[in-house]
């Protein structure tokens, strides 16, 4: 499917616009109002000649394009001298818009993301095979993807993961890592090595209609303690405790995991 990788936030006023600098190379781009996926949300974007100038949520007239770009790239999104880029790509029956490049600022705590949307937020390449794992190491980041209710998982992949409290999460590695191995030492000494551990969780693997459920970003976590070998069971502390409404949702799912 076609993908346009030369879309740039550009600011002529106080509001940045997504400007297509290579429109002639991408004749199959949408025209007019088109639904696009941004993070885990379907928005309606207005494609006008060589730009996207308005992005709205369903049932709203508010233009959230500026807010979206500044979430990805910070307050200087589209300012002169910057080189922020986004990717517009056709995936199955919908268009998806994502940030790319080293200027991206990372995931936003308590926002929900699909795996494919996370890598570009950190300026990292994405491949389904690599990012489909529960433990993903890329550069100076380790991404933990945890499904709390694992009753739909085969037994070999039912690694434990649950909240002990709003501020602590217990996570279990796959069956290969040891405490003295490379991954084990990075887990234990991640701060000294300059590695950030990013925690993404979801209650269930699938939505009611059978699609893959998105992940909630819980922010960076820090090592507290560990036990065991092959697998290792680790207690992480959250930089910020899980807000009460989310604790109500994911705390209950954690109780399901403990009972299995």
Q: Are residues 160 and 236 in the same domain?
A: yes
205 falls within a domain? yes
- Are 77 and 132 in a shared domain? no
Residue 115 is assigned to a structural domain of this protein: no
Residues 136 and 255 grouped into a single domain? yes
Identify whether residues 62 and 133 lie together within a single domain: no
pLDDT value for 259: 53
Domain membership of residue 68 as a residue range: 3-105
Same domain, 29 and 75: yes
In a domain, 119, yes or no: no
Does residue 113 sit within a domain? no
Residues 31 and 84 in one domain: yes
**Whether residues 53 and 91 fall in one domain:** yes
Residue scoring higher pLDDT (8 or 125): 125
Rg (CA), the chain: 20
Question: In this structure, are 244 and 158 located in the same domain?
Answer: yes
pLDDT digits (tens, 9 = 90+) for 212-252: 889 999 999 999 999 999 999 999 999 999 998 898 888 76
- Among residues 105, 120, 141, the one where a domain terminates is 105
Confidence class of residue 1 from pLDDT cuts 50, 70 and 90?
A: very low
Reply yes or no on whether the pLDDT at 192 is more than 70: yes
Q: Do residue 101 and residue 134 come from a single domain?
A: no
What average pLDDT is seen over the chain?
Answer: 80
Q: Is 176 exposed, middle or buried (0-12, 13-18, 19+ CB in 10 A)?
A: exposed
Q: Are residues 248 and 195 in the same domain?
A: yes
**Number of structural domains in the chain:** 2
Q: Is residue 233 in some structural domain?
A: yes
Give the model's pLDDT for residue 206: 86
**Max mean pLDDT range (17-26, 156-165, 223-232):** 223-232
pLDDT in tens, 74-103: 766 767 666 677 878 777 677 888 776 545
Residue pLDDT, tens place only, 117-143 = 888 888 787 888 889 999 999 888 999
- If asked whether residues 95 and 142 sit together in one domain, one would say no
Among 6-10, 180-184, 226-230, where is mean pLDDT lowest?
A: 6-10
Confidence of residue 2 (pLDDT cuts 50, 70, 90): very low
Is 238 inside any structural domain? yes
Q: Are residues 81 and 167 part of one domain? A: no
Question: Cα–Cα distance between 26 and 90 in angstroms, integer?
Answer: 12
Q: Say whether pLDDT at 9 is over 60.
A: no
By the 10 Å C-beta count (0-12 exposed, 13-18 middle, 19+ buried), 203 is classed as: middle
């Amino acid at each position: 499917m076609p993908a346009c990788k030369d879309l740039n936030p550009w600011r002529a006023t106080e509001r940045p616009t997504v400007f297509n600098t290579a429109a002639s190379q991408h004749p199959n781009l949408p025209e007019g109002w088109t639904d696009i996926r941004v993070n885990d949300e379907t928005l309606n974007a207005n494609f006008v000649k060589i730009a996207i100038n308005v992005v709205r949520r369903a049932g709203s007239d508010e233009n959230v394009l500026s807010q979206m770009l500044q979430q990805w790239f910070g307050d200087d999104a589209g300012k002169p001298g910057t080189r922020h880029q986004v990717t517009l790509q056709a995936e199955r029956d919908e268009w998806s818009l994502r940030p790319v490049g080293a200027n991206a600022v990372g995931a936003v705590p308590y926002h929900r993301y699909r795996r494919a949307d996370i890598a570009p937020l950190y300026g990292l390449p994405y491949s389904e095979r690599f990012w489909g794992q529960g433990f993903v190491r890329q550069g100076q980041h380790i991404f933990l993807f945890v499904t709390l209710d694992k009753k739909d998982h085969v037994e070999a992949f039912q690694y434990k993961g649950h909240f002990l409290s709003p501020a602590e999460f217990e996570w279990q590695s796959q069956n290969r890592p040891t405490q003295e191995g490379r991954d084990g030492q990075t887990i234990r000494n991640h701060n000294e090595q300059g590695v950030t551990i990013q925690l993404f969780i979801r209650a269930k693997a699938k939505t009611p209609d059978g699609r893959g459920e998105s992940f909630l970003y819980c922010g960076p976590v820090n090592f507290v303690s560990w036990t065991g070998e092959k697998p290792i069971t680790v207690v992480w502390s959250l930089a910020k405790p899980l807000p009460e409404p989310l604790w109500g949702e994911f705390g209950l799912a954690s109780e399901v995991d403990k009972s299995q």
